[in-house]
Structure 1
Amino acid sequence: MYQFSYAEIMEDGVADAKDRERQVLTRSIELLRAAKAAGGYNRDAIEALFYTRRVWIRFIEDLKQPENQLNQELRANLISIAIWILKECDRIRKRETDNFQGIIDVTTIIRDGLQ
């Protein structure tokens, strides 16, 4: 029987968490691209914005936790990015902008930075 060390288990846990984060960000990007392609404020836009807001609100909640292992500066920067995305989602919802591409670009950078 193979025994896993605590470090190996924790490393696998972090890798799994990052993989899940990449997956949800990829899904958000896909939905935002579909909304952008559809044009206007329609069902695709509503679905994309709802999903994207849920993702980034959850990230903020996680980043605010004291047990989050990212350094404080990185956590603060990610929270700032999340707030910007949430504000852009709200501006799209209010039909003040159609900046899906800006959200897609920033989300892609964050997703690609997860390693």
Structure 2
Amino acid sequence: MYNLSYAETMEDICADERMNEAEAMGIVIGMLEAAREKGANSREAIEAIFNTRRLWGFFLESLSDDANALPKPLRADLISVGIWVLKEAERLRQNEVTSFDAIIQINTIIRDSLQGASS
């Protein structure tokens, strides 16, 4: 019988979590891209903004938890990114901006980082 050490088990669990987060980001990015094609006032835009806010709300809650194993400076940087994403999503919702490019780009960078960390 093969016994994994605690560290190996935790590493596997964390890799799975990062992969799930990357997949969720991929879904949101796809929604944002569809919204970009359909326009800022489309049903796709409403759904994309809603789901972007939900996902980043989850991330921010996780990042602000003291049990989060990421280094504090990295957590702080990611929280700053998350706050920007939420503000940009609100600006899109309020029609203060109509381009989805910046929010797609930031989410893509984060997704790609998560994918790199889980491989």
Counterpart amino acid of residue 62 in structure 1 = S
RMSD: 0.9
Q: Superposition pairs for residues 44-59 of structure 1, below 5 Å?
A: 44-59=44-59
Say which SS state the counterpart of residue 67 (structure 1) adopts: coil
TM-score by length of 2: 0.93
> Any gaps of 5 or more consecutive residues in structure 2?
none
Query: Is structure 2 residue 42 aligned with structure 1 residue 42?
Result: yes
Comparing both chains, which one has the higher relative contact order based on Cα–Cα distances under 8 Å and sequence gaps of 6 or more?
2
Structure 1: state its 5+ residue gaps: none
Structure 2 match to 1:107: 107
Check conservation: 1:88, 1:99, Cα contact below 8 A: no
Alignment match, 2:71: 71
3-state secondary structure, aligned to 1:68: coil
1:69-96 CA-to-partner distances (Å, cap 9, x unmatched) read 1111111110111011101110111111
The amino acid across from 1:18 in the alignment is R
For these two proteins, the number of residue pairs brought into alignment is 115
The TM-score normalised by the length of structure 1 is 0.96
Q: Taking every aligned residue pair, what percent have the same amino acid on both sides?
A: 48
SS of the equivalent of 2:2 reads: coil
